[in-house]
Amino acid sequence: MENSKNTIQLVRTMNGKSIRVKIFGNEYPLRGENEDVTKRVASYVDGMLMKIHDKIPEQPPLTVAVLSALNITEDLLQEREKNTQEVAHLEAEVEKLSNYLDNCLLSEPSDERLL
């Protein structure tokens, strides 16, 4: 129950204009920092709910919602893992380039030797 209280408090403290979105046949008033982002998020959630419902139409809305939440979370975690791997790869490439540049600078003749 404590979690619900925190969620309600969060919703009340959000800045932004209130917009109405339709998700899985129900309208919800939402607030967000960016109206376009809020609409895109609502559309994504609605799309996932409809996709799951189309696959298993006999299931109650709560089951569809839970399965949709699981799918969305799985997608999020996969993207986070992919981003983590890409960051690690880029950091390794930056390290290689940095070492290469250091070696190039160390191997260049100094101006004093040219005189």
| Nearest-angstrom CA–CA distance, 101 and 5 | 55
pTM of the model: 0.69
Token pair for 23: 């998700």
pLDDT at position 80 over 50: yes
Tell me how far apart the alpha carbons of residues 86 and 91 are, in angstroms, rounded to a whole number.
Answer: 9
Tens digits of residue pLDDT in 8-47: 444 444 567 899 999 999 999 999 889 999 999 999 999 9
Q: Domain boundaries in the chain? A: 8-105
Q: Please identify which residue in the block is written with the tokens 């006999």.
A: 58
The mean pLDDT of the chain is: 87
Residue 26 pairs in a beta bridge with 23
